[in-house]
Amino acid sequence: MTTPIEGFSKLSKEDKINYIAQTYTQHPNETVAVLKQYWSADEKLQNLHDEFIENTITNFYLPLGIAPNFLINNKLYAIPMAIEESSVVAAASKAAKFWQTRGGFKTTILGTEKVGQVHFMYQGDTEKLTTFFKHVKPRLIQSVAPIVKNMEKRGGGIKNIELRDKSSDLGDYFQLHCTFETLDAMGANFINSCLEGFAQCLKEEAQLYAPFTDKEKDIEIVMSILSNYIPNCVAKAEVSCPVSDLKAHHGITAEDFARKMVRAVNIAKVEPYRAVTHNKGIMNGIDAVVLATGNDFRAIEAGAHAYASKDGRYTSLTHASIENGTFKFWIEIPLALGTVGGLTTLHPLVKLALEILQNPTAKELMQIVAVAGLAQNFGAVRSLVTTGIQQGHMKMHLLNILNQLGATEEEKLSLIEYFKKHTASHSAVVVAFEELRNKK
């Protein structure tokens, strides 16, 4: 039986690899070879990657693709996308091409406010706590002046601190609800540092506040942490054109296509089972750009899905309508993104991705990412209401299947040509591959 290991983090990289290979894999020598195969030959670059996280043993590659021809606010972009799923880059590119000749994508920033909270327990008179908060609020802000100084010079900083009584939800529970402007930084470290400063000051000042009883002075800080729910840090992206400009799709008129698109989005608005998959498709595009630009896609995912539930039920993040003969398709989505700090200044491919995007500000990146999500959703819904999702997806997935089967380059070319005229399912590809092999 495998036993726990002590001091794994203190082992050398070689020793970590050998331990994992010998303890958990059937062919240790092959495991070591595979792991080392993904190391960079540039020792300095590899060391940089090793230090991004703890207990690094190798690099894990994802394809970095480009979706070109995105016309956003009359400016042309090629959008880098890091993702493993077939058809995402193709669908985004196809949508970009479609809308490029129809006015392109229009975007606006609806807000850039980020949120953090100090969660604490207080046993005592609520009115007394409210009076204390009014007294101490300026001191809370002053307590983090050294942290905020540089951010304020750039035009950011603390926007507000509110005392919120949550004791009806959980006994004795209160919070400082704090809002921030972090400009081009995602701002997690800045916000968390401010919150911890507020917490320390709150606790210290409570001990000195004469009107409090001894019990009331004993405020218990539970935790101080930013929130990934940022309903006031939102980008909007939209496209529109006359319905007649949509052109016929696969045997249906432009008018029918527009109605089908609106109906499909409305189904996602009212049916949570559909909405989750609908929004997952949006996040295919968004996560790919967020990852390519060195931002936190887990935070973006969490915030987006929370935003989809903000009115009490889970619903679509995109919207569609037909008004006076015009088809409109748009998204509003929270995006806490940064273009300075973190991996943006460390990871060579992240720096290159941002350069390809013409070194956007955080606001510009929010708009680009929102467009990527809207384009992805347009492409997915268009397929769903016309040919079905599998036709395009399976053809893009074809190379993955052929690689799994060990097809030669000649066989790949032959089967790619064959499936231009035939439906590509996994079983159909296997049958066609075996038939091709048997002919030899």
Reported as a single tens digit per residue, the pLDDT across 304-356 is 999 999 999 999 999 999 999 999 999 999 999 999 988 888 999 999 999 99
Report d(CA 418, CA 429) in Å as an integer: 10
Report d(CA 171, CA 55) in Å as an integer: 41
- The sign of the dihedral angle between the CA atoms of 18, 23, 24, 26 is positive
pTM for this prediction: 0.89
Note whether 243 and 327 are within 8 A (CB): yes
Give helix 362-385 / helix 389-405 axis angle, nearest 10°: 100
Reported as a single tens digit per residue, the pLDDT across 18-70 is 999 999 999 999 999 999 999 999 999 999 999 999 999 999 999 999 999 99
Reported as a single tens digit per residue, the pLDDT across 231-285 is 999 999 999 999 999 976 667 899 999 999 999 999 999 999 999 999 999 999 9
Report d(CA 357, CA 68) in Å as an integer: 11
In this structure, what is the dihedral angle of CA atoms 127, 132, 137, 139, given to the nearest 10 degrees? 180
Report d(CA 397, CA 24) in Å as an integer: 31
- The token pair at 380 is 């997915």
DSSP 198-246: HHHHHHHHHHH-TTS-HHHH--EEEEEEEES--TTSEEEEEEEEEGGGG
* The one catalytic residue among 181, 238, 296, 364: 296
Note whether 195 and 224 are within 8 A (CB): yes
* The one catalytic residue among 250, 280, 310, 422: 280
Q: Is 406 exposed, middle or buried (0-12, 13-18, 19+ CB in 10 A)?
A: exposed
Report d(CA 265, CA 329) in Å as an integer: 9
Q: Judge whether 177 counts as a catalytic residue.
A: no
Structure confidence at residue 273 (pLDDT): 98
Structure confidence at residue 173 (pLDDT): 98
Structure confidence at residue 434 (pLDDT): 77
- The token pair at 30 is 């092959």
Structure confidence at residue 86 (pLDDT): 84
User: Rg of the chain's alpha carbons, rounded to an integer?
Assistant: 27
Query: pLDDT grade, residue 394 (50/70/90)?
Result: low
Note whether 432 and 419 are within 8 A (CB): yes
Phi, psi of 209 (to 5 degrees): -85, 110
Query: pLDDT grade, residue 88 (50/70/90)?
Result: very high
Q: Is 188 exposed, middle or buried (0-12, 13-18, 19+ CB in 10 A)?
A: buried
Pairing of strands 106-109, 157-165: unpaired
Whether the predicted pLDDT of 208 surpasses 80 = yes
Q: Judge whether 278 counts as a catalytic residue.
A: no
Give the mean model confidence (pLDDT) for residues 363-379. 98
Whether the predicted pLDDT of 118 surpasses 80 = yes
Summary mean pLDDT of the chain: 93
- The token pair at 194 is 């401010």
**More confident: 405 or 340:** 340
Report d(CA 63, CA 353) in Å as an integer: 13
Domain architecture of the chain: domains with CATH: 8-51 (no CATH), 65-110+234-387 (3.90.770.10), 114-227 (3.30.70.420), 393-439 (no CATH)
Whether the predicted pLDDT of 427 surpasses 90 = no
Sequence-distant (6+) residues with CB within 8 A of 130 are: 163
Q: Judge whether 85 counts as a catalytic residue.
A: yes
Structure confidence at residue 365 (pLDDT): 98
Q: Which neighbouring-strand residues pair with 189?
A: none
Closest CA to 357 of 419, 430, 295: 295
- The residue type at 427: S
Structure confidence at residue 268 (pLDDT): 98
- The sign of the dihedral angle between the CA atoms of 417, 420, 423, 425 is positive
Query: pLDDT grade, residue 407 (50/70/90)?
Result: confident
Structure confidence at residue 289 (pLDDT): 98
Report d(CA 100, CA 150) in Å as an integer: 40
Phi, psi of 35 (to 5 degrees): -60, -45
Report d(CA 420, CA 405) in Å as an integer: 19
Show contacts of 20-26: CB within 8 Å, 24+ apart. Answer: 20/57
Structure confidence at residue 347 (pLDDT): 94
Show contacts of 99-102: CB within 8 Å, 24+ apart. Answer: 99/71, 99/239, 99/241, 99/375, 99/378, 100/69, 100/70, 100/71, 102/239, 102/241, 102/245
Lowest mean pLDDT among 1-10, 97-106, 112-121, 208-217: 1-10
